[in-house]
Structure 1
């Protein structure tokens, strides 16, 4: 048997992980025919099928099942070599893949990244904004800004602070609530389903949850548009002129915000430079993030007038 192409094994693992060639193609950002061709090539090298093709989809064969742990070990070895090569490059040049929570990345991180890139014109950026965590060990990203209280043991970094949250609505919604409480509703996460938010049960019993959204940005936009009351990060609510804090509801201390990289890349020059730069800049934003700047937007308006 000839040497097996690692790339073919990568397509095999992606298909196993995602359950179909179409889903694997989406995961790997290639077309469906590429995945099918690479898996067929691997099966030809092995002279044995890895999947049974049926009318209802793919079914992995016993050989395919037995190959999974070996392929996973090879993937980890390839990723480790990739991290080793990256860590050895000490010039302030090349691409840095940064992942962040969507809301944080757009409203806080992007201006800081612009400032850093202006200082380092030979560094290119790939910014991945999503609320799901990427695998830093697999080099899906080099640097992560992650909401967590328990970073994985193979990651190193620093906790920048802790997200504070409270309940916000527009002034009109608050005035209407004062007159007709039953006419106002709450906005909540889609994943919470029928569960009543704790802040509703404790501070505003009787308030109905009628609107849901799957992202914090969506909840924010609904609240800003006057659709109801919602618990939001203070870094969002306190910088928005259309929103006020709902009186009588204290701050809720959410998860910590960490900047993290894989332990193998902790001393890579360009990654360390960006990490240190962002940490230095964002420490100035901590009072806002931790809910200590309720009238922040009014301060900004006064600065603009001056």
Structure 2
């Protein structure tokens, strides 16, 4: 299989059209189409179903795409490691984490890391679903759970508690609940998604539901940062990680005697980046900011 044709195939499979792949490769649509047709002729199998709305990989195309994607991912990682300075950390670092942790904790501190490492360029990907680090969708991740992939290196960073908070103006209007049972008469702010990024994020709703007459959520929103804003704005009572509450110093912690769940945060990266200086300095930055020795 010709390398140039595989490169074109990879671009088309990722882009989903000859036109978009041509833009990436700086080739005409017809040139891209000819390369794909030539590759299909060599392999004697169709690689794409051609539709008016775009291209869809055939079963054989899916098989080839999986292999080619892995090859290009490995090459990209190898190039990055080869060009990285032996004396100091440099290059591009793609970081992924949840929208809540990214907005509430990481972004307010990222300027310190970038000032200390001026030759590192950051690509921050805020995504509540886990990106595939093995397929190089990102270089490193800060996740609110232990990694599920066995081939990833992990470092436990912190246990973030999930206290119950309310705004002073809300408590002035509705009173302060003295027990979980009393919360059933209050408005709740909950995380509104089928797959929340933080385990136990809606534990308060489950606790309240154990009491007869519990009300539903006053507000559901699929953003930890938005939950914090809503609680601080007096829309209701809610349980959020401590890192999401730090931006709002006026928040009142209620029922501090109640034992609340915790969120385990992990720093995760693939084995191939074990010796990367960019990864090492970012890991050290996280540990320093979290007070880990």
What interval of TM-score do these two structures reach, taking the shorter chain for normalisation? 0.7 to 0.9
Residues 131-280 of structure 1 mapped to structure 2, 5 A cutoff: 131-178=128-175, 184-192=186-194, 197-202=205-210, 206-237=214-245, 240-247=248-255, 250-280=258-288
The answer as to whether partners of 1:174 and 1:246 remain within 8 angstroms in 2 is no
Q: Distance in 1 between matches of 2:71 and 2:55?
A: 27
Q: Give yes or no for the alignment of 1:44 onto 2:37.
A: yes
1:103 to 75, 90, 100: 100
Cα separation, partners in 2 of 1:189 and 1:112, compared to 1, 3 Å? closer
Q: Distance in 2 between matches of 1:181 and 1:268?
A: 49
Cα separation, partners in 2 of 1:155 and 1:3, compared to 1, 3 Å? closer
Corresponding residue number in structure 1 for 2:199: none
CA root-mean-square deviation: 3.7
What secondary structure is seen at the aligned counterpart in 2 of 1:211? strand
Q: Distance in 1 between matches of 2:159 and 2:230?
A: 24
The answer as to whether partners of 1:176 and 1:184 remain within 8 angstroms in 2 is no
1:237 deviation in Å? 2.6
For residues 249-290 of structure 1, give each alpha carbon's deviation from its aligned partner in whole angstroms, at most 9, with x where no partner exists: 724323311111111001112221221232123226x9xxxx
Corresponding residue number in structure 2 for 1:291: none
The answer as to whether partners of 1:11 and 1:39 remain within 8 angstroms in 2 is no
Gaps of 5+ in 2: 177-181, 196-201
Q: Distance in 1 between matches of 2:8 and 2:161?
A: 46
Q: In terms of mean alpha carbon deviation, does 4-13 or 215-224 score higher?
A: 4-13
Equivalent pairs counted in the alignment come to 271
Cα separation, partners in 2 of 1:255 and 1:240, compared to 1, 3 Å? same
The answer as to whether partners of 1:167 and 1:249 remain within 8 angstroms in 2 is no
The answer as to whether partners of 1:86 and 1:268 remain within 8 angstroms in 2 is no
The answer as to whether partners of 1:8 and 1:38 remain within 8 angstroms in 2 is no
Q: Give yes or no for the alignment of 1:122 onto 2:115.
A: no
Q: Distance in 2 between matches of 1:72 and 1:280?
A: 38
Q: Distance in 1 between matches of 2:192 and 2:130?
A: 19
Q: Distance in 1 between matches of 2:51 and 2:252?
A: 57
What secondary structure is seen at the aligned counterpart in 1 of 2:208? helix
Corresponding residue number in structure 1 for 2:198: none
Q: Distance in 2 between matches of 1:111 and 1:104?
A: 10
Q: Distance in 2 between matches of 1:72 and 1:259?
A: 27
The answer as to whether partners of 2:241 and 2:263 remain within 8 angstroms in 1 is no
Q: Distance in 2 between matches of 1:148 and 1:21?
A: 36
1:248 deviation in Å? 6.2
The answer as to whether partners of 2:157 and 2:266 remain within 8 angstroms in 1 is yes
The answer as to whether partners of 1:170 and 1:226 remain within 8 angstroms in 2 is yes
1:76 deviation in Å? 0.8
1:53 to 46, 51, 54: 51
1:35 deviation in Å? 11
Q: Under a length normalisation based on structure 1, what TM-score does the superposition of the two structures give?
A: 0.73
The answer as to whether partners of 2:143 and 2:267 remain within 8 angstroms in 1 is yes
For residues 61-109 of structure 1, give each alpha carbon's deviation from its aligned partner in whole angstroms, at most 9, with x where no partner exists: 7xx2122112211211221222233234334221212222223223322
